[in-house]
Chain A
Amino acid sequence: MSMPYYVAPEQAMKDRADFARKGIARGRALVAIRYIDGVVIVAENASQSLRKVSEIYDRIAFAGVGKYNEFDQLRVAGIRAAELTGYQYSRDDVDARSLANDYAQLLGNSFTHGMKPMEVEILVAEVGGDGSQDEMFHIMYDGTVIDRPNVCALGGESEAIQTRLASEFRDAMSLAEALKLGVNALSGADRALDAQSLEVAVLARGDRRRCFQRVGRDDVASMIAG
């Protein structure tokens, strides 16, 4: 009988983390920024139909980078968890923090016990009654949850993008200002991004129950130009 090779736990975790990070770094990044009416999410995405950003519940949005089938599975799981809670109890009982915790459990479990870790990073954002109650949770491939108060970057080169965002962020920006900040942070100094390669959505406070809205490419183009 052959014995399996001994691999130190530190090494096994490092290998898994390297594997996940490599997968995530291959994809394009996305950012989320708080603005005066809520949260705007800007993703670099050439596809019009395969979405990275989507609606989870009345005040909650989801965004994912990395392997599409994996974060899409997480997106649907989030919608299910939210709808089941809302149906069983009340729509007011659905919140981003408990969703983020559930996601963290799922990702953490897959990282330590799965055949392979999931090659994704996800964002769960929620708008509150006013800006001070907005929340953004950045969840890593290993289940680490980071609470981001104002800005959040996910995906390849996310550290550089996060730094660019944090240095330029101001409270109570307009949608156009926040969008421009997001686009500039994503593109960096060396290249420009146009509306055709962007997917933009907002969680906007207002009279409507459902706060999630996509921003069309024409509107994005005019806001970037303006």
Chain B
Amino acid sequence: MPVFQPQNDPGANFPLLLARAGLVPDDSFEGSVPPSPHATTCVALRYDNGVVMAGDRRATSGNLISHRTMEKVVEADRYSGVAIAGAAGPAIEMIRLFQVQLEYYEKVQGRSLSLEGKANQLSAMVRGNLPAAMQGMGVVPIFAGYDTAREVGRLWAYDMLGGRYEEREHVATGSGSLHAGTVIKVGYRADLSRDDAVMLVSRSLWEAADADSATGGPDVLRGIYPIVATIDADGWNLVGDAELAGVFESIRSLVTRGSAT
């Protein structure tokens, strides 16, 4: 059972606790990294009551599809979520550490970190991944959540160096972000309802999948749909596959309308 002298106590910082316990792997490696799974397109936007996050399910290694059901948008804690694009291995590990850190902080201190504090914490983790990023294993997350103190949804974009940028409307990351971001940019209004926001992010992912080979579209045959989640005053809520099936069905009818089929 870990007990520390006051001057060595890691406090509510779980990564520091890992370091004190000698459990941090040696991240320094030389040479080039062989092709490994990469995760792609994720988007987030603010709607009238909160934020919606979405990500496709595909992971690719070079030009091969390595995974069809990856979950790139995950719950960080009750009022926040994180979406990742980039090298899947470090990204999954980063999310796991981030989730543990938020809950660990909450239990040790008896209260949650502020939303801004969580965004800052993630920034430090992205920066910590810099040596791997230099080897082509960068991770570029999106952080979004509902600020219970200010009662608004907020979202942040990051760069590979840990730079943190709060966005007021929407953000996209990953290889399909240009297409997905453009769709959202054109369709965005500040007073979007929750349903309209779910429709807009789904449409943006469909357009990205249509134009970017590394982004997966809805797989109707297997019943695999993007991960879409809303975060508002009720906290994190996944949008169910049944609802998404309906959303993509209406996208299909929009896309095929008037075509000679």
Give residues in A with beta carbon < 8 Å to B: 49, 51, 54-56, 73, 76-81, 83-84, 86-88, 102-103, 105-106
Top 8 A-B pairs, shortest CB-CB distance: A102-B1, A81-B1, A80-B2, A79-B107, A77-B1, A83-B104, A77-B3, A87-B100
Q: Majority SS of interface residues in chain A? A: helix
Contact partner, A80, options B17, B97, B103, B110, Cβ 8 Å: B17
| Cβ-closest chain A residue relative to B104 | A83
* B18 in contact with A84 (CB, 8 Å): yes
* Minimum CB–CB distance for A212 against chain B, Å: 9
* Minimum CB–CB distance for B146 against chain A, Å: 18
Q: Majority SS of interface residues in chain B? A: helix
Q: Which A residues are in CB contact (< 8 Å) with B21?
A: 84
* A105 in contact with B104 (CB, 8 Å): no
- Inter-chain CA distance A83–B96, complex, in Å, is 12
Residue contacts A-B, CB under 8 angstroms, 24 given = A51-B110, A54-B107, A55-B107, A56-B107, A73-B3, A77-B1, A78-B1, A79-B107, A80-B1, A80-B2, A80-B17, A81-B1, A83-B14, A83-B100, A83-B104, A84-B17, A86-B100, A87-B18, A87-B96, A87-B100, A88-B23, A102-B1, A105-B1, A106-B1
* Minimum CB–CB distance for A49 against chain B, Å: 8
Q: Which B residues are in CB contact (< 8 Å) with A87?
A: 14, 18, 23, 96-97, 100
Give residues in B with beta carbon < 8 Å to A: 1-3, 14, 17-18, 21, 23, 96-97, 100, 103-104, 107-108, 110
- Inter-chain CA distance A81–B23, complex, in Å, is 13
